[in-house]
Amino acid sequence: MTGKHSLATYGIAFFIILTLNFFLPRMMPGNPLMAIYGDEALVAMTPALKTHLIARFALDQPLWQQFGAYIAGLFRGDLGWSYFYNAPVLKVILGSLPWTLLVVGSSLILSTMLGIILGIESGWRRGSKTDRAMLAGLMSLNGFPDFFLGLVLLIVFGVLLKLAPLSGALTPYSGLSGLALVLDVLKHMALPVAALTIAHLAGGYLLTRNTMITMLKAPFILTARAKGLSQNVIKYRHAGRNSMLPVLTMTGIWLGRVVTGALFVELVFAYPGVGQLTYQVLLARDYPVIQGVFLMVAISVLAVNFAVDLLYPKLDPRVSHAH
């Protein structure tokens, strides 16, 4: 994985996502309306709503016209209608998205930075006791599913020590504002972020450590030592700077993992983000929202991957001047 994907890759990925989203419900037995909404919802629907939905998504038209209407809808920002919430899907998702962005963003930044620093330190001391302990420890953590880590944190800090709130993103009806509100938000997100960060630390750590070990054998490290530079300058400016690059190319891929991790962790902490929403709509079989979540998550991961690909040449001079 070099992090270099062509535009075609993104095009194909985008196409696969759309196709799945469009054809999957229509491949199910029964008429499309039933397939999209499920039979329970259908029974409860008013005839007026049914006709409105059929017209809106061209469900009585041939498949290719339905597809056209679907794509056109997407460009208008119309992801469908949630029966369960009785609101447009986009609106439902946008309501929970900020919380997920907050948690995912914080954990991604934290786990990448910590992973890089630990990887640099561990690689520098390769073969030492500290290195071995760190390697075994972080690899073990890597085995812990994020939702189990979340549950352990919840029980230890929430239930037993009562240091953190058990659920939610805010204290309900507290009427907090300003700094107090910020602190409240931080207190609620601490455990979910910690669970995700710990669970996803190992990727960055292992990659940085491996690169670091290779980098330390590079001739320019000898140059740096000969120059009489201090240990930290050699470790971070010379070896570390080079060891970071492969990690950055992986952030896009890791984002996908952290986002899916967040789906589970939010459930554990009843955190009102996209994960919690997914759980709710899965229970309620509100298929349009499931589809919408899938689309939003998949496309944002694609977008970040794409951004990393565009950014990488700016970080590694060897790539940017290759031609």
| Closest separation in Å from C-beta 175 to other proteins | 27
> Is residue 143 at the binding interface for other proteins, with CB under 8 A as the rule?
yes
Amino acid occupying residue 231: Q
Q: Which stretch binds other proteins (CB under 8 A): 75-83, 107-115, 142-150, 182-190?
A: 142-150
> Is residue 18 at the binding interface for other proteins, with CB under 8 A as the rule?
no
Q: CA–CA separation, 185 vs 101, rounded Å?
A: 13
Instruction: Figure out which of the listed residues 34, 152, 248, 284 binds other proteins, where binding follows CB under 8 A.
Output: 152
Cα separation values, 214 from 38, 47, 123, 316, Å: 55, 67, 9, 17
Instruction: Figure out which of the listed residues 147, 205, 271, 312 binds other proteins, where binding follows CB under 8 A.
Output: 147
| Closest separation in Å from C-beta 47 to other proteins | 25
Q: How many CA atoms lie within 13 A of 132 on its CB side?
A: 3
Please list every residue from 218 through 247 that binds other proteins, using CB under 8 A.
Answer: 218-220, 222-230, 233, 237-238, 241-242, 245
Cβ closer to other proteins: 17 or 185? 17
Quick one: which of 130, 124, 115, 128 has its CA closest to 213?
Answer: 124
Site string for other proteins, 296-315 (x = CB under 8 A): -xx--xx--x----------
Quick one: which of 272, 274, 269 has its CA closest to 258?
Answer: 274
| Closest separation in Å from C-beta 285 to other proteins | 8
Q: CA–CA separation, 122 vs 209, rounded Å?
A: 6
Q: Which stretch binds other proteins (CB under 8 A): 75-83, 136-144, 174-182, 183-191?
A: 136-144
Quick one: which of 281, 313, 304 has its CA closest to 87?
Answer: 281
Please list every residue from 256 through 295 that binds other proteins, using CB under 8 A.
Answer: 256-257, 259-260, 263-264, 267-268, 278-279, 282-283, 285, 287, 290-291, 293-294
Q: What is the DSSP letter of 164?
A: S
> Is residue 57 at the binding interface for other proteins, with CB under 8 A as the rule?
no
Q: CA–CA separation, 108 vs 193, rounded Å?
A: 9
Number of residues in contact with other proteins under rule CB under 8 A: 88
| Closest separation in Å from C-beta 260 to other proteins | 4
CB atoms within 10 A of CB 290: 19
